[in-house]
Chain A
Amino acid sequence: MPQETISYLPLAAVLIPLFAFFMILIAQHNALWRNCWSVAGSAGTLIVVGLMYGLISEGQQVIFKIPMIVTPYNFFFNVDQFGFLFALLISFIWLLATIFALDYMNHEENRGRFFAFFMLTLSGTVGVPLAGDLLTLLLFFEIMSLASYVLVVHTQTKEAFSAGNLYLYLGVFGGMCLLTGMGLFYYSCGSLVIAPQACLLEGLNNYLVYAAVLMILGFGIKAGMVPLHIWLPRAHPVAPAPASALLSGLMIKTGAYGIFRVLSVIYTPDSSEMAADTVSPGALNLWAWTAETGYIIIWIGIATMFFGVCIALIQNNIKKLLACSSISQIGYIIMGIGTAAYLGYDGAMGVAGATYHVFNHAFFKSTLFLAAGAIVYLTGELDMRKLGGLRHKLPFTSIVVLIASLGIVGMPLFNGYASKTLLHHAIVEAYEHHHLYSLFIAEKIFTLTSAGTVCYFLKFLYFTFWRPAPDTLGEIKTEPVMMKIGMGALALSMILIGIAPYFVLHNLVGPTLNAFVLDSYLVNYLLNINLFIIEDLAAVALALGLGGVFFYLFRKIGFFNITGIPYWLGMEFYGKLVGRLAISTWGIVTLPFVMVQNYVGKQTQGLYNRMFSFLQHVDYRPGDSAVFRTVNISNIDFSMLLIVVALSIILVIAFYLRFVMI
């Protein structure tokens, strides 16, 4: 067991941005006050998270607990190497995005509200990887979900509201899935700590299986897993650029983080179980179950990455293209998580690949969104078809975008190369594990997706930066200094990560493997891997070449002139269809009830009236009191429908319980 140290640092990391949130709210119209607190909040979080490095690098776990008499509601932080990497990543990129936002937000309204909720969202997001049990995790997850809604609808346009509604309600739904999953898990296991659970070794009952499915579903919504991705291409582009950068770069990663924790930590046997000479049958069963689930997750990942590329290819709005690209890239990560679970004890490659890709994607996607923000700030335009020639007018942004793009397509010596190579290794290993033909195909789709990524980034670069500027584009000023600092720092970090992949692997990604139950031989193999061998380079070259060919062909046949997919191909069309069908079915089914209700109501009223006049007739004088007259049957709105439906359901249930169950 790793050594544990009690420390207030995790609590401080969450409370600092929360404090900044309240501070900004107090005087939200004072620009200096607001800017200072924003930077102080995010810088403070980064420093506090950084201070944990000393303990974490010694292999210790930082814990903090506010115990409650009643389990399981402990306010419990437990930071291991895996959580630490996420927290560090979040607070670092958050700081740079905040700096970028200082200038960027000049052309938006309601800046005080934006910065306040920027800080509240940070508090939630950084709390997720620091949490030590599932309920604490859920608490921060919900804070993040709800607070980021304010960022999504910031512009208050009609489009923003419709995207925001989808985001909010899917977020609430995801939260409810998580709560239910945790409830089921707690009922079966009696614990919510994020650690391997002994009770799982006694065999998985239905509740535990449902719990896993619900939790993966809940986290999957946040991660943008197909088919739950529908909110992502709409919500990410409408937010202001710094917020989109964080939504796409960081917040969807919390979903991936959750799936990782559920599948590879909780639903995995303890390491002591593996250290024993013979593995117990319970552990073997659990491994088998996790592997099966992992196989499904691999395919969900593959579907997500491929689908993301397909829709990214037809986007003309820069931010929409980047959002679709995020779906595709999260697909890589989910696939990595899937291979890790599929390979189980031998899954070091999958864990490392997915973690490394989380790390890389956070950098390049936030950079790209910030660059898109710079473009819209300076030109007022996000449509690629109306842009062009920016390499001359905005050289700084161009270079930044070029670095990020080379990273995302996996060019050697840039930051995406190492993680994509590891993920490629992982899927190949998964194929070689059982030689399933389907996984062979998965590997091919992987390559094809990489080629697609190259293709749409060529499109992005060509249309926006390379080709001559259209006449409609006016004079463009240069980037403000804060924007340059934000983007520049990110670009610089990416170059450093790119040229020193082994450093990152050994010092940042490698230690995270300690949080998982993995074969130490394979971990050593991974840490000493040579990334620049001819096979890997050839795979990348193939993807790059294919992407170039696609781009050339698509331009020739005029594919990029397509403005959008036909309406009937979209998910929304079918959603609306189902909705309309449901409403009309409801109407038809309830029609007889309504008719009966009206009829019975009328007859009863008639009967009452007749009785009343009859009583008067036989010289019973109730006086002139209006009370008796006002007893109007339609007044007492016994909804007939309700009664009929309710009673029939009760009868059915009672009958069932009485005669079938007992």
Chain B
Amino acid sequence: MDYIIYLPIFMIVFPVIGSLIVGIAREENDKARNIMAVIVSLISALAMVAMLHYFYNFGQWELLIHQIAPGLEIKLRVEPFAVLFGGTAAILWFFAVLYSTGYMAHEHNKRRYFIFYLLSLGMTMGIALSANLLTLYLFYEFLTIFTYPLVIHEGNKEAKTAGIKYLIYSFFGAGLILIGLVLTFGNAGTLEFARGGIVDLSRGSLLQWQIAFVCFVFGFGVKAAIMPLHAWLPSAMAAPTPVSALLHAVAVVKSGVFGIVRVLYSVFGITALIGLQMGYFVAALVSITILTASIIAMQQDVLKRRLAFSTISQLGYITLGAGLFNMIGLTGGLLHLINHALLKITLFFCAGAIITVTGKKKISELNGLGKQMPLTMIAFTIAAIGMIGIPPVNGFISKWYLMQGSLESGAPIFIAVLIGSAMLNAAYFLPIVINAFFKEGDFKPAKGPEAPLSMLVPILIIIVACLVIGTNLNLTVPYLQSIAEYLFMSGGN
């Protein structure tokens, strides 16, 4: 347990150093760079596993890095919620890097791509492990900056426009967060995350607290793609598919959701939330997002854009769970954080494999694809079924908990939202599957593997994981219940 306490710093610093090492390899030297990138991400994932191990054996610990001024500290803490987000991201990052080596084989500027891809890993770890709002804010801003080169990777006009949009939206959100930060610090005197919250409504005016709350929700809501602040996400689909898969389905957007949950439960705390008299503000907001995004998704013909709108809708589930203000709902939201990450990354990986092998981006061009890429499409089908929320794929568990949560909070209306969204999911996912398998098209059975193995293997591993998690609930639910309990109950750090 000696050097282990420095593991959180290692988690952040190692990818940064690693990205520089990867940068040594010349642009032409694909092989060396690929190997190094995979090794760096593998070591990060293993370090994460080691940290998980120590965490579950020895409990949480924290690490002060730098004190700027009294009350303003850069501080890391290993605790259940941090481990949940960090673990999910770090492990999926490994698969995504593996996948990238296959996907990027025919792309340009690979050096730049891999450097920033790994840098983003470090920043995401920083977000996950941060112990106070200031640290969170810091890494949150870094993540925006480091992912910008990935968004504009293509270098064409579409990508550049998307990049600018991404920056404007993100900094707008960050600005709001900063306002919230100042208000919180002014009124509470600390920014430290604590169980049960740091906000005491009797100190400071209620109005200021309400403003801070709204600022936080909309500020983090930009990355969490809460409508009407979602528009950057569909345009950011101009990025290469591994970026869309990992950053725009897992890391970046989930960091927004992570921020919202942190603010709700570690900064405000359940007592203050009820005292704020904002009722179902968050839940109502995301309910609209869930339904509207699903409706818009139906009209998209570009596969990645449809997936992007589906992401917007599904992120709403997680936030909805947090906004129900009860433990069952929160468990459902956190469950969906993992389940959605696994399912959506599979869907994006499949979309990327289709683009690499056939060059087709539009759904209307995919008729009969099942002949050429059966395994990919089977994985896509299973993930789509999970998205709809049909057992035995993992998506239905989170839906079940969210349902119980909405009943617990006495607002069965949210069940209608969930079911309506499930039907819409069916309406925009199943036609893709049906057309791919049953319609006649120009595709011929592939000779040899249907896609590069570095792409196919991650897809299959993750989809099997989805089925295993969906059938064996002991793997996830008890842990997430304890995390929800940790966030929910007050007392201690």
Residues of A within 8 A of B (CB): 68-70, 73, 75, 135, 138-139, 142-143, 146, 153, 156, 161, 164-165, 168-169, 172-173, 175-176, 179-180, 183-184, 186-187, 207, 627, 630-631, 635-639, 642-643, 645-646, 649-650, 653-654, 657-658, 661-662
Contacts and interface: CB of A to CB of B under 8 A. Distances in A.
Contact of B279 (A172, A183, A654): A654
A183 B404 contact: yes
B284 A653 contact: yes
Interface in B343-395: 385, 388-392
B474 interface: yes
Given A68-B477, A164-B434, A650-B281, 12 more contacts: A69-B474, A161-B434, A179-B403, A179-B419, A187-B403, A207-B407, A631-B164, A638-B228, A638-B231, A646-B285, A653-B279, A657-B280
Contact of A657 (B279, B427, B473, B474): B279
Nearest to B415: A180
A636 B391 contact: no
Contacts of B440: 156
Interface of B: 160-161, 164-165, 168-169, 227-228, 231, 277-281, 284-285, 288, 292, 385, 388-392, 396-397, 399-400, 403-404, 407-408, 412, 415, 419, 422-423, 426-427, 430, 434, 438-440, 471-474, 477-478, 481
Contact of A636 (B165, B399, B408, B412): B165
A187 to B, nearest CB: 4
A654 B284 contact: yes
A637 B279 CA distance: 29
Contacts of B228: 638-639, 642-643, 646
A661 B413 CA distance: 15
Contacts of B231: 636-639
Contacts, number: 124
A627 B422 CA distance: 40
B168 A636 contact: yes
A187 B404 contact: yes
B288 A649 contact: yes
Contacts of A630: 160-161, 164
Contacts of B161: 630, 635
Contacts of A153: 434, 438
Given A180-B419, A657-B280, A187 B390 contact: no
B164 A183 contact: no
* A153, A635, A661, most chain B CB atoms within 10 A: A635
Contacts of B292: 642, 646
B164 A70 contact: no
Contacts of B281: 650, 654
Contact of A646 (B227, B407, B438): B227
A184 B228 CA distance: 32
B303 to A, nearest CB: 20
A70 B285 contact: no
Q: Which 3 A-B pairs have the closest CB atoms?
A: A657-B279, A183-B403, A187-B407
Contacts of A661: 279
A646 B474 CA distance: 39
Contacts of A636: 165, 168-169, 231
Contacts of B288: 645-646, 649-650
A70 B390 contact: no
A642 B391 contact: no
Nearest to A643: B228
Contact of A653 (B280, B390, B399): B280
11 contacts: A70-B473, A169-B426, A169-B427, A172-B390, A176-B422, A179-B396, A183-B404, A183-B407, A627-B164, A631-B168, A636-B231
Contacts of B481: 70
A68 B474 contact: yes
Contacts of B471: 75
Contacts of B474: 68-70
B221 to A, nearest CB: 12
Contacts of A635: 161, 165
B467 to A, nearest CB: 12
A649 B280 CA distance: 12
A635 B390 CA distance: 37
Contacts of B164: 627, 630-631
